[in-house]
Structure 1
Amino acid sequence: MTETFTSVWMEQAQAAIDAGTEYLFSFNEPDIASQANLSPEAAAAGWKQYMEPFAGKAKLVAPAVSNSATPGQGLSWLSAFMAACDGCTFSAVNQHWYDSTSNDISYFQQQISQAASQSGLPVFVGEFGFIGDDTEIASALTQAMAWMDGEDSVVGYAYYFLSDGFLLDGTTPSPYGLAYLA
């Protein structure tokens, strides 16, 4: 955590709440070295200092973890974090998920369902994406969104991300961009 960000966090988070923000999200993929790269214990200390003061003012979302099955990453990191953050307030968890369309959509469903059952909390799928050709991605995306829309434990989701080659062909929706819009 850099001093620049943390020095303005409390003021900016409170301003967002005052403007009507319902949820505050926390660390981005602390389980991944190229992202937030925090141990569960360090993230718990950061949570207690920077997130917990907003308990009761907004719904607090646990750190976004990857779908990695590597020990110490993904849901195993989340479990260790929640144990280290004893007494902390959580309203939801945040699951990020990326994989090839060659894998059955059931892997996606299993990961999100496991995040909900393991935590006992609703899930935001804060980032998700498929790797494949446009037709495969459109099919997987359509299946994933239909499942999430019908799943009570999923409170929100967002495909990653919007730019040329991702949901767009130039400035118009790609074939799977059209599937996302539908």
Structure 2
Amino acid sequence: MFSAAALVACLACLLSIAGAQKAGLPWSQPSFDISQFLTTGKVTWYYTFGISSVSTSTEFVPMLFGASQAAQWDSSINSVIQNQGVTHILGFNEPNEPSQANLSPQAAAALWQQHIQPLKAQGVLLGSPAPSSSSSGLQWLQQFVQVCTGCTVDFIAIHQFGTSASDVIAAVQEYHDVFPGKPIWVTEWTCADPNSGSGCSASAVASFMQTIQAFFDSQSYIERYAWFGVFAGSSPVQIDLVDSSGHINALGEQYIGA
């Protein structure tokens, strides 16, 4: 008969195994070595804000960033799906933001119906456009789902920036409440003010990551997540997963459970 302590340890192990399949990376630095993030098995997928992949055997998830990529997308996505063994697709990047995909829900629906929905016939799973963490994000996504007639949204993709772990968790839970039954991918999350972009202290970032990553790993409705990001100094350095040379740093090792 198992002791209570053994059962608790077994449960913790199972949760760790389940969470190990969720972590990913938004990979925007093709010259860096992604393999340094794959040594523990914690990180199992990545995306690149487009259809260009890097040389690795880990899972690649293509993204149609916005309207400007549509022609390239149509010319290449079928071969990418076949050659890379793609099983998931990401929709538009922060369409509610003028500096990003900058699409109304109606315009996004038209693009989706033309460029993304047909891929469902190949058996891939389609992720929603990923709104930013601004106050307009949830409303934008609700409107998109309402107007996108005949669209298949297999999972909900969102971004969440903040300086309070509890606030970020509450925001993610709100999406879950609005879209019950849909898996959620938090494809960007980090410790930064979503309005000013200012970062947190190094110690605050480490604590923030630890709290939220543990929450994500424990929640069955959160299917995947990706910390933002891998920059080597082009953002508040406290949130970087690499040093100035592109080598994994202490925060990166924390993220992959090294």
What does residue range 1-182 of structure 1 map to in structure 2 within 5 Å?
Answer: 1-2=67-68, 5-19=69-83, 20-57=85-122, 58-69=124-135, 73-100=136-163, 103=164, 105-120=165-180, 121-130=182-191, 131-164=199-232, 165=237, 166-171=240-245, 172-182=247-257
Q: Take 2:201 and 2:243, find their aligned partners in 1: how far apart are those partners?
A: 13
Q: Which has the higher strand share?
A: 1
1:24–1:61 contact (8 Å) kept in structure 2: yes
Taking structure 2 as the reference length, the TM-score comes to 0.64
Shift of 1:116: 2.2
Q: Take 1:16 and 1:112, find their aligned partners in 2: how far apart are those partners?
A: 31
Q: Secondary structure at the match of 1:32?
A: coil
Q: Take 2:88 and 2:137, find their aligned partners in 1: how far apart are those partners?
A: 22
Shift of 1:134: 1.0
Q: Secondary structure at the match of 2:92?
A: coil
RMSD (Å) for aligned C-alpha atoms: 1.5
- Could you report, residue by residue, the CA deviation over 1:83-123 in whole angstroms, capped at 9, with x for unpaired residues? 011221011111111112xx2x2211111122222123111
Larger radius of gyration: 2
Taking structure 1 as the reference length, the TM-score comes to 0.89
Q: Take 2:92 and 2:254, find their aligned partners in 1: how far apart are those partners?
A: 29
Percentage of identical aligned residues: 29
Q: Take 1:127 and 1:118, find their aligned partners in 2: how far apart are those partners?
A: 19
Shift of 1:8: 2.6
Q: Take 2:167 and 2:221, find their aligned partners in 1: how far apart are those partners?
A: 16
Gaps of at least 5 residues in structure 2 are 1-66, 192-198
Gaps of at least 5 residues in structure 1 are none
